[in-house]
Amino acid sequence: MTITTKRAYNFNAGPSALPLEVLQKAQAELVDFKGTGMSVMELSHRSAAFEEVHNEAIARLRKLYEIPENYEVLFLQGGASLQFSMIPMNFLKEGKKASYIQTGAWSEKAFKEVALFGTPVLAASSKENNYKNIPALSDIQIDQESAYVHLTSNNTIFGTQWKTFPNTGNIPLIADMSSDILSKKVDVSNFAMIYAGAQKNLGPSGVTVVIIRKDLLESANSNIPTMLKYTTHSKNNSLYNTPPTFGIYMLGEVLKWMEEQGGIEVIEQRNEEKAKYIYDAIDNSNGFYFGHATKESRSLMNITFRVADEELEKKFLAEAKEAGFVGLNGHRSVGGCRASAYNAVPVETCLALSEFMVKFQQDNQ
């Protein structure tokens, strides 16, 4: 008997949509993982069965993202938010500064943490424009005494995304890519470190991916707590303590799904197609809908917009919810609407939203 499960139009900003095929495989293997008689959640993290899961996930990530050999891949816990502290603890040397480019709420939080460990410097910010845009490369002023430069590649709350990254020369560039990692091709070698929470494009919440250049690792401070040293985790293949085993298993399956889709090139094309459906509904509405981000800074992952009339906006969100669209409310700090179209969100879901937006406009003008 075939059981058909009704799936929501899931636009949640995170935790977010997972590929149906991955969920179905996890369901099939949940009680007995590859003949072990145990769930993957019951396996010892020191067992050969889990070691294979762990190392395969690392290998798939290396292949998909074309990660050079002089980089380590770590699976950590604590979310991207813990990285806000770990980065200055490990890399902000005495007498040095840390340059931050502020493009949204998460980069603000990262900037705030640095003051606990040293001197933060604001290299650029679009806060005065309510984070409607990514700063122009020509406006970025990097203090040459900086130990590193930090940016957030995609801004979930405001719906902006970097299209071209700054060249920071000999100063290491560190990027929080939590909400757009593996959504498009990126030259990893342009960064000294990339980190991302898994819960948007890579799997369920609970795993934080860190891709870090070995020479940066070697220069890290040593007088910090053991669990907060990147070298602790690199020397132990991220198995110093018990890792989030089920999360890593799911991450590996999502990466396998991406391979089966055709890799990052296909995923990127699909993401452009998905975003275009929704942006076209906004742009062709003659002001009925209007976006938060400037066109040149628009995110493919988080599409933020408003309905011109506040009461109509409430009606739009209520009717969208009734029609099966989930997670369209904007972040509580900015309001409005937000459609998060991460990798696992199907094209059909974005097309359905676009069609709903057009019909809602027709019915309410």
Alpha-carbon separation of residue 93 from 68, 90, 117, 146, 204 (angstroms) = 26, 8, 9, 9, 34
Is 257 one of the annotated active-site residues of the chain? no
231 contacts 86 by C-beta, under 8 angstroms: no
* Exposed e or buried b per residue across 303-340, where buried means at least 16 C-beta atoms within 10 angstroms of its C-beta: bbbbbeeeeebeebbeebeeeebebbbbbeebebbbbb
Q: Which of 97, 162, 176, 184 is catalytic?
A: 176
Prior bond of 15 cis (ω within 30°): yes
Cross-strand partners of 148: 98
| Exposed / middle / buried, residue 69 (Cβ in 10 Å: 0-12, 13-18, 19+) | exposed
Is 187 one of the annotated active-site residues of the chain? no
Q: Which of 97, 184, 200, 274 is catalytic?
A: 200
Alpha-carbon separation of residue 165 from 74, 203, 309, 362 (angstroms) = 23, 25, 36, 40
Helices (H) and strands (E) in the chain, counts: 10, 14
Is 200 one of the annotated active-site residues of the chain? yes
DSSP state at residue 188:
G
d(CA 335, CA 62): 38
Q: Which of 106, 180, 184, 274 is catalytic?
A: 106
Residues taking part in catalysis: 106, 176, 200
